[in-house]
Amino acid sequence: MRLIIINGPNLNLLGKREPNVYGNEGFESYLEKLRGAYPALDIACFQSNSEGAIIDKLHEVGFSVDGVILNAGAYTHTSIAIADAIAAITSPVVEVHISNVHAREPFRHHSYLSKNCKGVLVGFGLDGYRLAIESFVHA
Ligand code: DQA
């Protein structure tokens, strides 16, 4: 099974960025553990701070991988273009947010992406990425 994790803006700073909200672990070390826990899976990873690069990656992989795990960061709350890209591709997308966006500022409560996603995982910390993998493995 081929999966890809796509992380959006500022998620390259995990471990350093607002640790009270996003925790102390960097994504690289978390990803290493995740790959170790699922040796049979091919788990690619892509991060970009740019909306267009995220859309380009969705176009590139979204007709071939078995699942996309997408944390679009703040673009979640602003990007009709990423929502359209999710609708355009055939691979199922699971939306993940590390923090519980519904317990935060009102502008984080709305996602343009959720309606085009298979499901949404919110507020489970980095474990949300593992739970998204589980959702594909047990689909
Ligand atoms: C986030 C939540 C977003 O509101 C925020 O802009 C992020 C991270 C999360 O994983 O909790 O960058 O997607």
pLDDT higher than threshold 90 for residue 128: yes
pLDDT score for 74: 98
User: Quick one: which of 132, 110, 107, 111 has its CA closest to 121?
Assistant: 132
Identify which of 82, 99, 127, 131 to mutate to test ligand 1's pocket (most ligand atoms within 8 A of the CB): 99
Domain 2-137 = CATH 3.40.50.9100: yes
What's this model's pTM, rounded to 2 decimal places?
A: 0.98
Confidence of residue 136 (pLDDT cuts 50, 70, 90): very high
Asked whether 34 lines ligand 1 (CB < 6 A), one says no
* Rounded Cα gap, residues 75 and 136, in angstroms: 24
pLDDT grade for 68, boundaries at 50, 70 and 90: very high
Beta bridge partners of 67: 3
Give the pLDDT of residue 139.
Answer: 84
pLDDT tens-digit map of 24-63:
999 999 999 999 999 999 999 999 999 999 999 999 999 9
